[in-house]
Amino acid sequence: MTTHDPVLDLACRMPKAELHVHIEGTLEPDLAFALARRNGIALPYADEAALRAAYDFDSLQSFLDLYYACADVLRTADDFRDLMLAYLERAAADNVVHAEIFFDPQTHTARGIAYRTVLDGLEEGLRIGRQRWGISGLLILCFLRHLSEEEAFATLAEAEPWLDRIHGFGLDSSEQGHPPSKFARVFARCRELGKPVVAHAGEEGPPAYVVEALDLLGSARIDHGVRSVEDPALVARLAREAIPLTVCPLSNLRLCVFGTMAEHTLPQLLAAGVRVTVNSDDPAYFGGYLNDNIRAVQAAFAFDAATWQRIARNSFEASFVDAAQKAAWIAELDRMCTVDS
């Protein structure tokens, strides 16, 4: 979309990586109803407008309750493929060239959907997406932190026969009262299996959860981490150790982590030299995809082009692709920014 703000226009056109998006959070109401019809399931909402009207969250938990309920329409590998394709099409339109995509197998296996079904469908979507739009994607298996350590280990055991099909492990769901320490042994095993791990921390939870995610889980990135600013020593550490934060501005606004975008801690984190990235989290529920997040941030903070270039560069540097691929995307980004400046 062209705008009257040349900086915003450039930021939207920049190639970038999306490192924090939950595939179940990309389920748009129209697809939810189409899948419900296809699978003969009744959603507890009369129509798309009624479902959208329920997107009025006052906390992470109020969102998660709806998010898990809607995921019930996902039953077959074709459903997971179509969900992935719908996301990749939108991401590619926002000039996302690479996405590292979370999925929550426990949300599905608890309903009797086989882990293989989920994986087969998501992978087929990634394969078709790469052919159609040239977009690359990696899958990150997330454990639900409101469930037990034992359940996480059972999920890991289910995933182990197909370990080469996922790239890493993450931790999501209800943060308060479920500290990273609860999963220290699970994550030690994930790291032993040779996979990078990431964790949601410091979204609703305190900065101490960010410290635990780093020290007890070995988290290579922190998902959200926006409450880190409450601990200046932690911010200094994040900057010093170049630990990426996958920040999701519209999510934070919609889940009332901040009252207004002007209160968001993104500028403080940037000013402190933290490697921040901008991402969409659950775009179907929070008012938009990656470029919608960029537009909302730009409306609040009017960053310059160099700041957006920094954020896009961070997204490639923080990704899990190899050094040559990172360098190629960063060169493409720098070329575009030079031509435009």
Q: Which residues are catalytic?
A: 203
Known binder of ligand: residue 78?
no
Q: Compute CA distances 67 → 45, 58, 123, 207, whole Å.
A: 13, 14, 22, 25
Q: Edge to edge, what strands does the sheet with 199-201 contain?
A: 199-201, 222-224, 245-247, 276-278
Smallest gap from residue 174 Cβ to ligand ADE (A)? 7
Which of residues 200, 227, 254, 313 is near ligand ADE by CB under 6 A? 200
User: What does 203 bind: Zn ion, ligand ADE, none (CB cut-off 5 to 8 Å by kind)?
Assistant: ligand ADE
Q: Is residue 45 within 8 Å of 51, Cβ to Cβ?
A: yes
Smallest gap from residue 101 Cβ to Zn ion (A)? 11
Q: How many other CB atoms sit within 10 Å of the CB of residue 240?
A: 10
Which runs of E-coded beta strand occur in 197-287? 199-201, 222-224, 245-247, 276-278
Cβ closest to ligand ADE, residue 282 vs residue 292: 282
Smallest gap from residue 204 Cβ to Zn ion (A)? 11
How far apart, in whole angstroms, are the C-alpha atoms of residue 204 and residue 227? 8
Q: Reduce the DSSP state of residue 4 to 3 states and report it.
A: coil
Place of tokens 């990078």: 196
Tokens standing for 179?
């500290």
Q: 18: part of which helix (H) or strand (E)? A: strand 16-22
Q: Which amino acid is at 152?
A: A
Q: Which amino acid is at 39?
A: N
Q: Looking at residue 45, what DSSP letter applies? A: S
The verdict on 100 binding ligand ADE (CB under 6 A) reads no
x-or-dash string of contact with ligand ADE, 70-89, rule CB under 6 A: --------------------
Q: Is residue 190 within 8 Å of 214, Cβ to Cβ?
A: no
Known binder of ligand: residue 104?
no
x-or-dash string of contact with ligand ADE, 159-178, rule CB under 6 A: -------------xx-----
Pairing mode, strands 245-247 and 222-224? parallel
The verdict on 104 binding Zn ion (CB under 5 A) reads no
The verdict on 24 binding Zn ion (CB under 5 A) reads no
Choose the stretch contacting Zn ion; rule: CB under 5 A; options: 61-69, 208-216, 273-281, 289-297. Answer: 273-281
The verdict on 252 binding ligand ADE (CB under 6 A) reads no
Known binder of ligand: residue 282?
yes
Smallest gap from residue 297 Cβ to ligand ADE (A)? 17
Smallest gap from residue 223 Cβ to ligand ADE (A)? 7
Choose the stretch contacting Zn ion; rule: CB under 5 A; options: 114-122, 137-145, 278-286, 295-303. Answer: 278-286
Q: How many other CB atoms sit within 10 Å of the CB of residue 45?
A: 19
Which of residues 249, 281, 286, 303 is near Zn ion by CB under 5 A? 281
Q: Is residue 283 within 8 Å of 296, Cβ to Cβ?
A: no
Residues of this chain that interact with Zn ion (CB under 5 A) are 281
Q: Which residues are annotated as a binding site?
A: 20, 22, 200, 281-282
Residues of this chain that interact with ligand ADE (CB under 6 A) are 22, 25, 60, 172-173, 200, 203, 251, 281-282
